[in-house]
Amino acid sequence: MRIEANPFAYAFELKHTALVLIDMQRDFIEPGGFGETLGNDVSLLEAIVPATKAALAAWRKAGGLVVHTREAHKADLSDCPPAKRHRGNPSLRIGDEGPMGRILVAGEPGNQIIDALAPVEGEIVIDKPGKGMFYATGLHELLQQRGITHLLFGGVTTEVCVQTSMREANDRGYDGLLLEDCTESYFPAFKAATLDMIRAQGAIVGWTAPSAALLAALDNAA
């Protein structure tokens, strides 16, 4: 299969490719979570939900592997470096009790993936203590066991957890493509800059494409 992408076409085989949705959890997308405690306007992020839902539905229908991640810490915060917890001046820190439960703690209401994109049976769900999806998760081994070499990315936020995960994937030998309308930042200029820097220099980190290009590729193959 082939996606019309930037800076050039992206070729992949469905059975060797996973769709990865990064941190589409209430903490970042709804008021009262980690994103808002950092001082961000979280309302910007929900705009990508319809396109992401459509891409997920098409990918599931094609039979592709889906990976969901959550930025999540253990209840005792043993996997949260003090440097991360104490950084800056948030209104609530990681582990503090907020309106959606303890901030960024696994199992709390705020840590759940939003209903529109909820995982289904057979999909991989990864709790990650860092910004990148490979750090301290075992995900690389899981993907290797399944023969995955190509990763399509969506999720939030573009320049933080998505970009970190794409760069980690690139260094591990995966070909990554970011779905442009399935990712968002609290800072539109940072999103634009991230898309540019990923695909610059002949896809130095990876590719980008609108989700319509993925849907077209899946339609053509069907």
Q: Which residue numbers are catalytic?
A: 23, 128, 161
What the block records as the tokens of 208 is: 């980008």
* Shortest reach from residue 155's CB to ligand TIU, in Å: 7
Check residue 77 and give left, alpha or beta (phi > 0: left; psi -120 to 50: alpha).
left
Give yes or no for residue 49 binding ligand TIU (CB under 6 A). no
* Shortest reach from residue 15's CB to ligand TIU, in Å: 28
Type and span of the H or E element at 151: strand 150-156
Give yes or no for residue 92 binding ligand TIU (CB under 6 A). no
Give yes or no for residue 38 binding ligand TIU (CB under 6 A). yes
- For residues 57-76, which are near ligand TIU according to CB under 6 A? 71
Q: 179 — phi, psi (to 5°)?
A: -80, 115
Query: In whole angstroms, what is the distance from residue 45 CA to residue 47 CA?
Result: 5
- For residues 165-194, which are near ligand TIU according to CB under 6 A? 186
208, 6 Cβ separation under 8 angstroms: yes
Q: Which range of residues in 74-82, 112-120, 154-162, 166-174 is near ligand TIU by CB under 6 A?
A: 154-162
- For residues 115-134, which are near ligand TIU according to CB under 6 A? 131
28, 156 Cβ separation under 8 angstroms: yes
What the block records as the tokens of 37 is: 């405690």
- The binder of ligand TIU chosen from 3, 10, 17, 23 (CB under 6 A): 23
What the block records as the tokens of 155 is: 């999720």
Q: Where on the chain is the footprint of ligand TIU (CB under 6 A)?
A: 23, 28, 38, 71, 131, 156-157, 160-161, 186
